[in-house]
Copies of this chain bind each other. A is one copy, B any other.
């Protein structure tokens, strides 16, 4: 029997903490290190910070290099941030240390449309290291790209794909509730949204993966965001939002081929939404309608990242996307 896969978790926010708890449950994985830039976490026992219920004798370091001085690992679970310019130095540093990477960074999930040069650089670094990099999550990484593409397996012809994802943000982590604008005025929301770095990240990555995989040319891409407003006082453990303020957002993305709209992605996440539900509608031959319930983003993203570890370890070196791997399942 092979030894356990040794895992370092880089980024111990809510997703990284959820990943850590799952790694601890899996008999084939061993948590060997944790990194976070938050001074409130550095120096603490990782078991305490991720609320695993016990100390693990592993001290959180503020830099990856400090972990590597003390321990060896096979894979880094990278859960730091969504944005290419912020995570690229982290990915390159991990590659220099020759470890596989499973990341939840949205912009890395399918960077070939929006960041082809940076993607090429990471791909080259991974191949040089002989290691693999995959970014995944429920969305992007599954619900609006890999899953609808998987469903086209049973289609003779596809004319249009629509995915609608409705998430009740009251069930989500605090940073997610913040990211969708909870508590803001409409003006604050619009200003913050115009400044970037707010809202759901991933619609353009999913669009890129769908078009590229199906061999279609993306001739136009449109996206828009609207706030969802509280009709009455809404409370969560993290926010208390009076009527008229923002409780979430609606985002829509449309991808056009030279024959018109081919892909429509709709994402709504708001506090106090009714039941979570996702719908995938594929028009063609046949017409398919698929609905999903229970795909909570935090649970699903931590699960798919951990479940991906063995597939990534077995894959050829380079920057991978979900379309390059056999299906991910519990492993």
A interface vs B, CB < 8 Å?
A: 22, 25, 138, 142, 146-147, 149-150, 152-158, 213-215, 285-296, 299-304, 306-308, 322-331
Find out whether the CB atom of B285 lies under 8 angstroms from the CB atom of A149: no
CB distance from A14 to the nearest CB of B (A): 14
Find out whether the CB atom of B285 lies under 8 angstroms from the CB atom of A289: no
Q: Residues of B contacting A328 with CB < 8 Å?
A: 150, 153
Residue with the highest number of chain B CB atoms closer than 10 Å, among A154, A286, A294, A304? A154
Known A-B contacts A296-B286, A327-B146; the reply to A153 vs B303 at CB < 8 A is yes
Known A-B contacts A153-B303, A156-B303, A293-B288; the reply to A323 vs B327 at CB < 8 A is yes
Nearest B residue to A21, CB-CB: B156
Find out whether the CB atom of B303 lies under 8 angstroms from the CB atom of A295: no
CB distance from A296 to the nearest CB of B (A): 6
Known A-B contacts A286-B300, A294-B288; the reply to A326 vs B323 at CB < 8 A is yes
CB distance from A293 to the nearest CB of B (A): 5
Bound form: Cα–Cα A265–B156 in Å: 26
20 examples of A-B residue contacts, CB within 8 angstroms = A150-B327, A150-B328, A150-B329, A153-B303, A153-B307, A153-B308, A154-B295, A155-B303, A155-B307, A155-B330, A213-B329, A214-B329, A215-B331, A285-B303, A289-B293, A289-B294, A290-B290, A291-B291, A325-B326, A327-B327
CB distance from A323 to the nearest CB of B (A): 6
Nearest B residue to A288, CB-CB: B294
CB distance from A147 to the nearest CB of B (A): 7
Q: Residues of B contacting A142 with CB < 8 Å?
A: 153-154
Nearest B residue to A279, CB-CB: B291
Find out whether the CB atom of B154 lies under 8 angstroms from the CB atom of A304: yes
Find out whether the CB atom of B292 lies under 8 angstroms from the CB atom of A289: yes
CB distance from A208 to the nearest CB of B (A): 15
CB distance from A90 to the nearest CB of B (A): 24
Q: Residues of B contacting A138 with CB < 8 Å?
A: 154
Q: Residues of B contacting A308 with CB < 8 Å?
A: 153
Bound form: Cα–Cα A149–B329 in Å: 6
Find out whether the CB atom of A326 lies under 8 angstroms from the CB atom of B324: yes
Partner of A153, one of B156, B214, B291, B304: B304
Residue with the highest number of chain B CB atoms closer than 10 Å, among A150, A302, A308, A322? A150
Nearest B residue to A322, CB-CB: B327
Q: Residues of B contacting A330 with CB < 8 Å?
A: 152, 155, 157-158, 214
New A-B contacts (7) at CB < 8 Å, excluding given A215-B331, A285-B299, A289-B292: A138-B154, A150-B327, A153-B308, A286-B300, A287-B294, A288-B292, A290-B290
Q: Residues of B contacting A153 with CB < 8 Å?
A: 142, 303-304, 307-308, 327-329
Find out whether the CB atom of A290 lies under 8 angstroms from the CB atom of B291: yes
